[in-house]
């Protein structure tokens, strides 16, 4: 294939991803109609929910197929399954969340699940699109059939655990009493608000990246870093070029501005990253985090001002009339399906591959360790639920924390902790 052909395939695949993304949003809206429209006049709530739920499911399946076409075309273009960098992996993970949702829906037929699982998939796919989408050949360590088995199974297992989180969060919104003024009541309300705020911050992060990418914002710095030369063992000063796509609130530590577009009259960076954040990309990461948190706080604050009550309290009326035990059951069942798939894909097959590629099946590489941490956590979840009777609220909280651990394992480890799995280069 010529470069032109590859590029046109990639363009075509991106179109399919865009279509999938929009269709997922549509599916989310239809599930919203299915759940909220039950109370509209002149209709039988049950048949309304069933009909719109089926439409929502069909749309979700169309979106899934469109994204499968994206993955297939990209596969054809780059010659390997598209799960080898954060862009490819996260979009794939989003697709697996949709698949897990479709399977769970087939079992329980609760349109409400779609109201939470579909936006989760939307956010994950959009998050993936933040990362560079360049096509690259696979590095030698990844050239193995195990890439296909290990990564896809791990993603599918984690997707089921994510659907467990969506149902768990629904359970909390359904059951937490937002008028409860007692200490434990306030703590629960705060917990729900923190969870929702985190999701809003994640959405802010995605939005801010796309807004400034669309506006073509650019700033560039030259950062001087002191490194120890590996051969001479002497300290040397090395200059790095650091590029920003967000207006620099923080510039890199010990750096000089090469070029900076002005932003709202801001001509120079406001602050400098502290000295302990002296890694090459640390300043940029700090800047991105500050932007996301700031926008997240603004959005959250605005929503609170408009709604005049905690977000959870505003959302929870949607849940009225939903059987909370069903939600508990769906959350548990999704986790029960996800746990063995995760164990097989993220630990057992991972070890087999590590044995083949690196010559050892387990070496406490950060990504491996975090997969083990995830496994420990859900092992504790199952013990507490099945043996100690932690059902309902406690197990819903655990599903929320579990999802946090999964997201850290998938993304945090790549971005914060370096290691053998940091292929993404972001």
- Sole window of 135-143, 148-156, 189-197, 251-259 interacting with other proteins (rule: CB under 8 A): 135-143
Picking from 209, 279, 219, 283, the residue whose alpha carbon sits closest to that of residue 251 is 283
Nearest to other proteins of 42, 275 (CB atom): 275
Nearest to other proteins of 241, 325 (CB atom): 325
- Dist CA 306 CA 299 (whole Å): 11
Contacts (CB under 8 A) with other proteins, residues 228-247: 228, 230
Nearest to other proteins of 186, 360 (CB atom): 360
Neighbours of 275 (CB within 10 A): 8
DSSP letters along 173-225, please? HHHS-TT--SHHHHHHHHHHHHHHHHHHHHHHHHHHHHHHHHHT--EEEEEEE
Nearest to other proteins of 260, 398 (CB atom): 398
Any idea what DSSP says for residue 392?
A: T
Q: Per this entry, what is the length of the chain?
A: 426
- Least gap, CB of 228 to other proteins (angstroms): 8
Q: Are 242 and 283 in contact (CB under 8 A)?
A: yes
- Name beta bridge partners: 224: 239
- Sole window of 39-47, 68-76, 120-128, 133-141 interacting with other proteins (rule: CB under 8 A): 133-141
Residue 336 makes contact with other proteins by CB under 8 A: yes
- Sole window of 189-197, 208-216, 236-244, 374-382 interacting with other proteins (rule: CB under 8 A): 374-382
Q: What is the CA 301 to chain-centroid distance, rounded?
A: 23
Q: What angle do CA 336, 192, 312 make, to 5 degrees?
A: 115
Nearest to other proteins of 26, 352 (CB atom): 352
Number of chain positions touching other proteins (CB under 8 A): 59
Give the one residue of 57, 135, 189, 396 binding other proteins; rule: CB under 8 A: 135
- Dist CA 113 CA 109 (whole Å): 9
Residue 350 makes contact with other proteins by CB under 8 A: no
- Dist CA 101 CA 164 (whole Å): 10
Give the one residue of 39, 43, 309, 355 binding other proteins; rule: CB under 8 A: 355
Nearest to other proteins of 25, 391 (CB atom): 391
Interaction site with other proteins (CB under 8 A) = 3, 6-7, 10, 77-78, 134-137, 139-141, 143-144, 146, 228, 230, 276, 325-326, 329, 336, 339-340, 343-344, 347-348, 351-352, 355-361, 363-364, 366, 369-370, 372-373, 376-377, 379-380, 382-384, 386-388, 413, 417-419
């Amino acid at each position: 294939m010529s470069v032109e052909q590859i590029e046109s395939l990639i363009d075509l695949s991106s179109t399919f991803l865009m279509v999938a993304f929009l269709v997922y949003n549509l599916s989310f809206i239809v599930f919203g109609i299915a759940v909220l429209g039950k109370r509209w006049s002149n209709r039988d709530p049950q048949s309304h929910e069933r009909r719109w739920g089926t439409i929502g499911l069909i749309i979700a399946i169309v979106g899934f197929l469109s994204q499968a076409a994206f993955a297939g075309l990209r596969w054809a273009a780059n010659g390997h399954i598209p799960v080898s960098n954060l862009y490819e992996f996260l979009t794939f993970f989003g697709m697996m969340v949709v698949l897990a949702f479709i399977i769970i829906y087939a079992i329980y037929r609760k349109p409400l699940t779609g109201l939470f699982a579909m936006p989760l998939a939307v956010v994950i796919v959009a998050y993936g699109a933040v990362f560079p989408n360049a096509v690259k050949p696979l590095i030698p360590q990844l050239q193995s059939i195990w890439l296909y088995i290990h990564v896809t199974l791990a993603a599918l297992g984690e997707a089921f655990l994510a659907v467990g989180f969506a149902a768990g969060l629904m359970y909390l919104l359904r059951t937490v009493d937002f008028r409860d003024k007692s200490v434990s009541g306030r703590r629960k309300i705060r917990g729900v608000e923190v969870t929702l705020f985190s999701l809003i911050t994640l959405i802010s992060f995605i939005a801010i990246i796309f807004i400034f990418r669309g506006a073509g914002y650019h700033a560039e710095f030259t950062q001087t870093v002191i490194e120890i030369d590996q051969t001479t063992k002497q300290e040397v000063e090395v200059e790095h070029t650091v590029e920003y796509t967000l207006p620099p609130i923080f510039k890199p530590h010990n750096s000089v501005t090469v070029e900076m577009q002005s932003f709202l009259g801001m001509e120079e960076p406001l602050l400098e990253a502290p000295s302990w954040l002296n890694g090459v990309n640390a300043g940029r990461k700090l800047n991105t985090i500050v932007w996301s948190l700031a926008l997240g706080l603004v959005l959250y604050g605005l929503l609170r001002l408009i709604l005049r009550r905690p977000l959870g309290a505003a959302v929870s009326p949607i849940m009225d009339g939903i059987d909370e035990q069903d939600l508990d059951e769906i959350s548990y069942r999704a986790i029960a399906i996800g746990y063995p798939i995760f164990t097989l894909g993220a630990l057992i097959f991972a070890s087999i591959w590590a044995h083949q590629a690196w010559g050892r099946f387990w070496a406490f590489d950060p990504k491996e360790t975090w997969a083990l941490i995830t496994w420990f956590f859900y092992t504790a979840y199952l013990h507490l639920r099945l043996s100690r009777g932690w059902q309902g609220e406690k197990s819903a909280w655990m599903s929320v924390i579990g999802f946090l651990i999964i997201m850290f394992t998938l993304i945090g480890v790549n971005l914060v902790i370096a290691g053998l799995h940091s292929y993404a280069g972001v």
